[in-house]
Amino acid sequence: GDSVTQMEGPVTLSEEAFLTINCTYTATGYPSLFWYVQYPGEGLQLLLKATKADDKGSNKGFEATYRKETTSFHLEKGSVQVSDSAVYFCALSAVDSSYKLIFGSGTRLLVRP
């Protein structure tokens, strides 16, 4: 079935460092892809999305490109801030009868001043 695999965390970076969080997926169709972020004590919020191959989603300095050939949707940011410390989830929309988003296991990011 459809699935999402994320790199395991935690990822610890210094402020202004470059961030990459890897995400690969397995899907039978052409799903939409999402990155959600969960700040401490809060629910998940949509960070960015891409709905078709080669689309680039971007928001708040974060970017991710829908790569069909490598089935990947890696999250990147050029210069992280302490306020970016959170858990990041990659997800895809299941285009079969599952009627849900399928989430990866989440990657915790800790940014130190």
Contacting positions for other proteins (CB under 8 A): 4, 31-32, 34, 36, 41-46, 49-51, 89, 93-95, 99-101, 103-106
Between CA 103 and CA 93, with CA 34 as vertex, the angle to 5 degrees is 60
Task: State the nearest-atom distance from the C-beta of 16 to other proteins, in Å.
Answer: 29
Report the length, in residues, of the chain. Answer: 113
Closest approach, Cβ 17 to other proteins, in A, equals: 25
Specify the residue for token string 């995400």: 23
Least distance (Å) from other proteins to the CB of residue 18? 25
Read off the tokens for 35.
């990155």
If the CB atoms of residues 40 and 113 are measured against other proteins, the closer one turns out to be 40
Nearest to 74 by CA among 111, 35, 105: 35
* Nearest residue (CB) to other proteins, 2 versus 17: 2
Kindly state the smallest distance separating residue 107's Cβ from other proteins, in Å. Answer: 10
93 CB-near residues (< 8 Å, 6+ apart): 31, 32, 33, 34, 101, 102
